[in-house]
Structure 1
Amino acid sequence: MKKLTLIVAFSMLLQLAFAGGLLTNYNQSAQYIRMLSRNAALEIDAVFYNPAGLVKMEDGWHFAFYSQTILQTRDIDTQFPTLNSGHYTGETTIPVYPDIYAVYKKNNWAYSIGIGPIGGGGTAEFAGGIPTLEIPFSLIPGQLSGLGQIDPALAVTSYDLDMALEASSTFWGIQLGASYAVNDQFSFYGGLRLMPSTNKYDGAIRNIQLNGVDAATWLNGASGQVNGFAGQASAGADLMYGTASTMQPVIDAGYGTATLADLENGGVIDATTRAQIEGGLQLIGVPQAQINVMNALQVQGTYSAAGDELTSTATLLSGTAQTLAGTATQVGDKEVKTKQKGMGFTPIIGFNYSPNNDWTFALKYEFETKLTLENETEVDDMGLFPDGAESSNDIPAILTTGIGYRGLDWLEAQLSFNMYFDKGVDYGNNIRYSTLGEQVHRDIESNYTELALGLQFNVAENFAFSVGGMRSKNGVTPQYQSDFSYSNSSYTLAGGIMWNITDKLTFDAGVANTMYEDDTVTFTHAGIGSYDETYAKTTISMSAGISYSIF
């Protein structure tokens, strides 16, 4: 049985981006959840979305705290024919997803800090596992089909197992920076994001069964029975060779061309010996009519050939018994429990142009984050997480642009565009193919992009509601997709409210629903042929928070 690559399964399952590219979380404020477009923001969440625009805030201290509750479901439907069930579901629930911002603005300068989960932030649970990890077990009945030919009682008709995967991840972003206004129109930003990152993996494959019996127990029992059959075949071979040897003196005496009847009539052998020889030939399938015309040489050759065949059978059965016993050692309970830690750094630059009070044009570039994670392993029954080993988990660079319009008292509009430079990151090989011994690279055809429009309607001096829509388009190829990790293009709709409780205190709340497009990929498995696998996903995000200013 092929070694299960749980390490990659877990690391891929941790790609929990919710609103953003393949790896990045772009949902970093309650305002974003209610509008989906904040790249031209001039409020406190501009710390993340438009940091160069922070110079437009009033002089003083500004603080904000937001939290989201995120519910995500991932559904996998496969047509692989030997699985007990082709449907698998993964659940991710994040009750608290916090963002904290602080800004100090004085004259032409603004100094800011932002803290939030820039990647991950939750736990992915696949209570029933995923197809790739179950497929090797589902193939066992077919791989052992020959046992039914040895003995019908050894036929394998079913398998079962308990499999659970849980992977949690938090890539914190601690962003520090300064914004400077050259004049009333132009401002710039320079900053650095520290990214202390932790992944935790906890997985187990237990209670593997064949024909409703513990797999190891069943395989060891079958091994014993097959080994017994091997012994019987070996004993039969000895009997065949022994009978063949009894014909040698007859042949040496010059009776090699004589039939058994001739030998008995000539007194060379007696009736009992003749009956025993004929009975043995009948047992190995020689019809009586043929026996009647066989001479001594042919009889000896037939017994010798039967002995050779039984010897070969004995060898084959003995090898099968050893294989069964060896397989039994591989189907015991397996557990993995480890975590990975590392630190990454992301330089960030930004530019803001406000030709007047009505219009804002913003640009931000986040450089690629080089991130290396080191294993801290507690349990590793499969030898997949060597303690102290390192792995790369780079985050792609991001270019964001935004246009904001505030020319009407009752309306604010923002248009945002994001590009995630996924083509600059190596996502490795597709693990579904790797389990089959094939090397297929997870290619990126084009960079991930997002286009969003947000509208805020100021229905009262201190109250507003907002709506937003976003189109997210991935650039992955079919070679990228698998049950370990997949990306779906999507549409997102959002809505929410803003309430200025006082001149210094503001409450924001929103909800966003992401509707992903199903993606069907065709795989090919040796001995099975082509089959389809469909990947689906749903995400609902709810957020609320407050901001407070000290002028």
Structure 2
Amino acid sequence: MKKIALLAFAAGLGFAFAGGVDNKTNLNQGYMRNPSRNTETLRPEAVFYNIGGTAFMNDGLYFELGNQFVLKNYADKLDGQKFEDDENVYFYPNAEVVYKKDNWAAFFGFGVFGGGGTLDYSDGTGLTSLALKQGMASAVKAKVTAAVMAGKLPLAQSQAYAQKLLEQLSSHSLEVYSVQLGEILGASYKINDMVSVAAAGRFMHGEQNITLKCDGLKSVNGGSSKIGYESNGYGFGGIFGVHIKPWNTLDVGIQYQTITKLKYKYDDLTGAYASSFLNADEGDNFKNDLPAVLNLGVGYTFFDKLNASMSFNYYFNKQATIESPIDRSEYDYDDSWEIALGADYRLNEQLSFGTGFSYGKQGAKSDVNNVFSPVLDNFVIGAGVEYSPVKLVTISGSAMYCKYFSEDYKKAGYTMELSKDVVMLALGVTVKPF
């Protein structure tokens, strides 16, 4: 069973909407409204997408809170049988604080940079099902043969009984939780009316948990039907940005996020068989780095009301070490990229609208992908509204539809069709006391 099981479990655990293999682009509710964010200079969300732009914000103190609601369906299909996760995510928060004075700005941000929630496969996945059936086949065969030899089971019924018994013993559920939270702290400086520079540090702390429940495992798992692990990891990286404003209506944003090296430690193993299955003990480590990212953007403002922009993100997946939590083997993802176009229109002092779309080319291969959370090329479109009931408060609401293109994933002689559908909704509020 272990060979196939390794393939089933050994996947990076990226959820929600990922621009790269695991890097998140939906860091703020503003991304739902308009996915082209890399020239932001008006809102606190610049903390996530264009830190150099904070130096061009209006003077004052900004507080922003937001939350996303991720409605998702992840699926894999093997031999005509479909395995699905429909566990929605209702708490996906972000927070930003910016203080801008003259040529300086200081800022803080909190958000979900990787992972993002729970996957609940009530019938497991295609590969976990295959692993359990193959692992239990010999035991079922021996039990059926003994029943036939003892005269307790007619030979003509043995095949049907064996299949029924195998289905019962391999029936299982799988729950996966993964999240990488981060805090950004930094500052920016406007050198002159055309150029600003910025730097920030980002502290990351991640958690990964997996629990597989199968009654058929009791005989090899100390009488327990559960096997799994809990792990935590920490890392630190840097963010550097430059914002260029050749003239008042043109914005160019350049930002580089360094690789964040994350080393996870197994804090707790569940089940007597867990140590053997994982080839690890409590206290051992595995790596799951968050790749470096280059963010580029250009935007132009027409008639002081309409801002149109284009953003490009490139993810250096090959630089990162992403290991299987099972056997510490490395995944060989290619680099990935996405391009976005969008516009924001201010109708008046109280009301503005935004919309945009993006296309993402992921770094998965036919034999390198994620059974739990498929890494798929995608097209997304979003729209939203911002409303200021009073001068110092802005309320925002937005929605985004993500169209993923299903792909075949080939492993150990088997082919699985991976697919997913995601709709995201978001709410946010910005307060500027002065």
| TM-score where L is the length of structure 1 | 0.70
Rg: which structure is higher? 1
Q: Secondary structure at the match of 2:367?
A: coil
Measured after TM superposition, the shift of residue 485 of structure 1 is 5.2
2:272 corresponds to: 381
1:408 aligns with 2:317: no
From 97, 107, 128, give the equivalent of 1:102: 97
The partner residue of 2:234 within 314, 338, 343 is 343
DSSP-derived class of the 2:92 partner = strand
Q: Which SS does the other structure have where 1:204 is aligned?
A: strand
1:469–1:493 contact (8 Å) kept in structure 2: yes
Task: Give the structure with the higher percent helix.
Answer: 1
Q: What SS class does the counterpart of residue 390 from structure 2 fall into?
A: coil
Structure 2 residue aligned with 1:549: 432
Task: Give the equivalent residue in structure 2 for 1:45.
Answer: 45
Superposition CA RMSD, Å: 2.8
Q: Distance in 2 between matches of 1:336 and 1:532?
A: 26
Q: Distance in 1 between matches of 2:73 and 2:350?
A: 37
The answer to whether the 8 Å contact 2:96/2:110 transfers is yes
Q: Tell me the alpha carbon deviations over residues 100-155 of structure 1, each in whole angstroms, 9 at most, x when there is no partner.
A: 11111111110000011111221111111112222134345588668659747473
C-alpha deviation, 1:342, in angstroms? 2.1
Partner of 2:64: 64
What corresponds to 2:332 in structure 1? 443
- SS at structure 1 position matched to 2:53: helix
- 1:502 equivalent in structure 2: 390
CA contact (8 A) 2:301 2:307 kept: yes
The equivalent residue for 2:402 is: 514
Shift of 1:332: 6.0
Contact 1:13 1:124 in 2 (8 A): no
CA contact (8 A) 1:430 1:442 kept: no
Structure 1 residue 372, shift from structure 2 partner: 0.6
The answer on 1:393 being equivalent to 2:388 is: no
Partners of 2:77 and 2:418 within 8 A in 1? yes
Contact 1:359–1:407 (CA<8 Å) still a contact in 2? no
Given the superposition, is the C-alpha separation of residues 524 and 379 from structure 1 closer, same or farther in structure 2, using an over 3 Å criterion? closer
Judge which range, 37-46 or 419-428, deviates more.
419-428
- The one-letter amino acid paired with 1:106 is K
Structure 2 Cα separation of the partners of residues 157 and 59 of structure 1: 71
Alpha-carbon displacement from aligned partner over 1:494-549 (angstroms, at most 9, x marks no partner): 11101122222111110001000010234454xxxxx5310001111111111111
- After superposition, the Cα gap between the structure-2 partners of 1:450 and 1:120, relative to the gap in structure 1 and judged at 3 Å, is same
Give CA deviations for 1:54-90 in whole Å, capped at 9, x if unaligned.
11112221111111111221111112xxxxx721002
- Cα distance between partner residues in 1 of 2:139 and 2:228: 31
Distance between the aligned counterparts of 2:365 and 2:54, measured in 1?
39
Tell whether 2:251 aligns with 1:368.
no
Asked if 1 retains the 8 angstrom alpha-carbon contact of 2:5 and 2:127, the reply is no
User: Does 2:7 correspond to 1:119?
Assistant: no
The answer (yes or no) to whether the contact 1:35–1:496 under 8 Å persists in 2 is yes
Flag the 1:447–1:337 CA change in 2: closer, same or farther, 3 A.
closer
Q: Which residue of 2 aligns with 1:231?
A: none
Higher strand share: 2
1:181 CA drift (Å): 0.6
Deviation at 1:425, TM superposition (A): 2.1
- C-alpha change, 1:355 and 1:63, in structure 2 (3 Å) is same
- Partner Cα distance (1:545, 1:136) in 2: 44
User: 477-486 or 185-194, which moves further after superposition?
Assistant: 477-486
Residue 320 of structure 2 aligns with which residue?
425
Aligned-pair identity in percent equals: 27
Selected match of 2:206 from 197, 205, 216: 197
Cα 1:17–1:357 shift into 2, 3 Å: same
Distance 1:148 1:368 in 2: 56
The C-alpha deviation readout for 1:202-232, integer Å capped at 9, x for no partner, is: 3211257xxxxxxx8xxxxxxxxxxxxxxxx
**Which residue identity does 1:393 align to in structure 2?**
N
User: Matches of 1:379 and 1:456 in 2, distance apart?
Assistant: 50
Gapped regions of structure 1 (runs ≥ 5): 80-84, 209-215, 217-327, 526-530
3-state SS, counterpart of residue 183 of structure 1: coil
C-alpha distance in structure 1 between counterparts of 2:230 and 2:329, whole Å: 27
Change (3 A) 1:184 1:11: farther
Aligned pair partner of 2:247 in 353, 356, 367: 356
Cα deviation code 1:28-54 (max 9, x no counterpart): 222111111110001211011111111
Distance in 2 (CA, whole Å) between partners of 1:142 and 1:336 is 21
SS, match of residue 550 in structure 1? coil
Q: 1:164 aligns with which of 142, 165, 173?
A: 173
Letter in 2 for 1:505: V
Distance 1:505 1:121 in 2: 28
Output aligned runs, 1:26-425, within 5 Å. 26-42=25-41, 43-79=43-79, 86-139=81-134, 140=136, 151=149, 153=154, 155=158, 156-158=162-164, 159=166, 160=168, 161-207=170-216, 329=220, 333-377=224-268, 379-382=270-273, 383=275, 384=278, 386-425=281-320
Secondary structure at 1:501's aligned position in 2?
A: strand
Partner of 1:258: none
* Structure 2 residue 348 is the aligned partner of structure 1 residue 465: no
Contact 1:416 1:453 in 2 (8 A): yes
Structure 1 stretch 146-155 or stretch 133-142: which is displaced more?
146-155
Tell me if structure 1 keeps the 8 A contact 2:243–2:254: yes
Aligned partners of 2:220, 2:250: CA distance in 1, in Å?
A: 69
Taking the aligned partners of 1:533 and 1:3, their CA distance within structure 2 comes to 17
Q: Aligned equivalents of 1:13 and 1:424: distance in 2? A: 15
